């Protein structure tokens, strides 16, 4: 028979496993933000809106159907007189009509319905040129979405690295707490044996209390960071999770020339500048098409109801319609010149954006190189402080050094740990900035 305490332990272990927070990797966080982030959703909707504008404009190439109906009460009769012989005087028949005929419409409700079907002809040129600009607009929207995705990816990495740094610092603070507890125990024994003064014990206790305060601050930072990351990921901010420990990287840096070439070929800013120049050229071609007269093939049908027997009930026609403004006081000419200047502006912006991207890539490259070097120095200083404190602690246990030497060693270790964590965080942030500078989406 299984003892009751064994069953209780089993249930406790199961409960502990079920309550364990998920381990969220950086790749998972980036993928989740790319899929769920609300700003990226809005950016994707902008692409769909651009596609809807394109589809709507395409319908302007097809025949248009219009219907106009009017129901009214005549306020004045429509009457006139056909005078004798107005239609001619023919041999053997005589004048038509042979006497004056007075025609009058009834004072009753009447109806009028007009049906028009028009197929644009010359306007197709302007419409098709407008479609080219709208297609470029879709490409611009896609590039903006890619730029937003890079921005969100950078935000995810920034918050994730901050969480890693905070949790790593929290682990270091908890190790420091363990050391202070052991140091406090030894010092209490020394005070009892009249080896050290009580003021030294109070100093150790004060440092332990200060470390506990630092632990509380770091715990709050971790909680706030998790809530912020959950918001970027587009999920409930109260979801708990754990991040992977922060690691060093042994990746080799690209040379600055290759980094700049990648940045110019990948950065959405450069691509957007090129597309804006292309779109400005397409707008100019569409504006020039406005000089062409608008000619359409039309079918018209007019139906009149209750206007009188002397008027036709229905009439239909097929033909061509022309709409043209031959003289506009130079308006179209100035609008064309405006479009040309827009192209010049787009060309200037394109070159400026290329230069800005190259400068940014070079700056981020140098910052990454500096942060890598700083991290190597901080790691060596930390290893030195760890070994020095270990030696000093052993000597203190043998009463070979004073308490102040141990405390100074601990201060040096805390400072080196903090410097190392800051250097590591700076390195990963610099790497994320460099990845974004060369146009990497992930």
| Average pLDDT rounded to a whole number, residues 181-206 | 79
Is residue 363 scored above 90 in pLDDT?
yes
pLDDT > 90? residue 214: no
pLDDT number for residue 49 = 94
Dihedral sign of CA atoms 251, 255, 256, 258 in order = negative
Give the pLDDT of residue 14: 37
Residues 16-44: what's their mean pLDDT?
A: 81
Counting residues of the chain whose pLDDT is more than 70, the rounded percentage is 92
d(CA 349, CA 356): 10
Tokens (6 digits) for 196: 């050290």
| pTM of the predicted protein model | 0.74
User: What is the C-alpha to C-alpha distance for residues 5 and 52, in angstroms, rounded to an integer?
Assistant: 67
Winning range, highest mean pLDDT, from 12-21, 50-59, 148-157, 183-192: 50-59
The more confidently predicted of residues 170 and 8 is 170
Torsions phi, psi of 274, nearest 5? -65, -40
User: What pLDDT does residue 50 have?
Assistant: 93
Banded pLDDT at 13 (limits 50, 70, 90): very low
Task: Tell me: pLDDT of 5 over 50.
Answer: no
Question: What are the pLDDT digits (tens) for 370-413?
Answer: 988 898 898 898 889 888 888 887 887 777 777 777 777 877 88
Who has greater pLDDT, 63 or 101? 63
What is the percent of the chain where pLDDT is above 90?
32
pLDDT at 124 (0 to 100): 92
Give the C-alpha separation, 179 to 407, whole Å: 10
Q: In the Cβ-directed half-sphere of 287, how many Cα atoms lie within 13 Å?
A: 17
- Mean pLDDT highest for which of 172-176, 252-256, 354-358? 354-358
pLDDT of residue 20: 56
- Ranges 49-53, 93-97, 345-349: which has the least confidence: 93-97
pLDDT band at 431 (very low <50, low <70, confident <90, very high): confident
- List Cα–Cα distances, 319 to 125, 235, 239, 277, in angstroms: 20, 62, 70, 41
- Number of neighbours of residue 159 by Cβ within 10 angstroms: 23
Residue 3 has pLDDT above 70, yes or no: no
Q: Is the pLDDT of residue 255 over 70?
A: yes
pLDDT of residue 307: 73
pLDDT surpassing 60 at residue 84: yes
Q: What angle do CA 254, 259, 262 make, to 5 degrees?
A: 125
Confidence of residue 197 (pLDDT cuts 50, 70, 90): confident
Name beta bridge partners: 65.
117
- pLDDT class for 280, splitting at 50, 70, 90? very high
- Give 286-306 pLDDT, tens digit per residue: 999 989 999 999 999 998 887
In the chain, where the domains are located:
27-437
CATH architecture observed for domain 27-437: Up-down Bundle (1.20)
Whether 18 has a pLDDT exceeding 60, the answer reads no
- Average pLDDT, integer, range 325-354: 91
Residue 55 binned pLDDT confidence (cut-offs 50, 70, 90)? very high
Which range is least confidently modeled, 101-110, 264-273, 382-391?
Answer: 101-110
């Amino acid at each position: 028979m299984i003892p009751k305490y064994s069953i209780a332990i089993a249930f406790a272990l199961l409960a502990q496993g079920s309550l364990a927070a998920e381990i969220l990797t950086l790749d998972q966080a980036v993928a989740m933000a790319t899929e769920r982030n609300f700003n990226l959703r809005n950016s994707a909707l902008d692409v769909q809106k651009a596609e809807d504008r394109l589809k709507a404009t395409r319908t302007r190439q097809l025949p248009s159907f219009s219907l106009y109906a009017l129901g009214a009460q005549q306020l004045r009769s429509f009457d006139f007189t056909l005078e004798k012989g107005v239609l001619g005087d023919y041999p053997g028949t005589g004048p038509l009509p042979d006497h004056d005929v007075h025609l009058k419409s009834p004072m009753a409700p009447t109806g009028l319905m007009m049906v028009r079907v028009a197929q644009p002809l010359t306007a197709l040129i302007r419409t098709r040129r407008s479609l080219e600009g709208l297609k470029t607009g879709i490409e611009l929207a896609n590039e903006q979405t890619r730029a937003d995705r890079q921005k969100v990816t950078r935000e995810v990495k920034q918050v994730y690295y901050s969480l890693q740094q905070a949790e790593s610092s929290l682990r270091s603070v908890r190790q420091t707490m363990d050391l202070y507890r052991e140091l406090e125990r030894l010092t209490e024994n020394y005070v009892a044996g009249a080896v050290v003064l009580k003021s030294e014990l109070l100093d150790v206790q004060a440092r332990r209390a200060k470390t506990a305060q630092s632990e509380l601050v770091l715990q709050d930072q971790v909680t706030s960071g998790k809530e912020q990351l959950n918001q970027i990921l587009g999920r409930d901010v109260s979801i708990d999770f754990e991040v992977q420990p922060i690691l060093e990287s042994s990746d080799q840096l690209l040379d600055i020339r290759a980094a700049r070439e990648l940045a110019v070929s990948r950065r959405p800013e450069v691509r957007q500048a090129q597309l804006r120049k292309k779109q400005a050229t397409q707008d100019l071609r569409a504006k020039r098409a406005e000089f062409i007269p608008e000619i359409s093939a039309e079918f018209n049908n007019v139906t009149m109801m209750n206007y009188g027997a002397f008027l036709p009930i229905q009439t239909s026609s097929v033909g061509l319609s022309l709409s043209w403004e031959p003289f506009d006081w130079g308006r179209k000419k100035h609008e064309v010149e405006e479009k040309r200047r827009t192209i010049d502006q787009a060309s200037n912006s394109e070159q400026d954006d290329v230069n800005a991207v190259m400068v940014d890539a070079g700056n981020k490259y140098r910052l990454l190189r500096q942060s890598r070097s700083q991290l190597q120095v901080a790691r060596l200083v930390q290893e030195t402080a760890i070994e020095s404190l270990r030696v000093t602690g052993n000597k203190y246990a043998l009463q070979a050094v004073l308490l102040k030497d141990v405390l100074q060693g601990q201060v040096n270790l805390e400072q080196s740990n903090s410097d190392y964590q800051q250097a590591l965080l700076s390195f990963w942030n610099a790497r994320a900035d460099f990845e974004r500078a060369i146009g990497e989406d992930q």
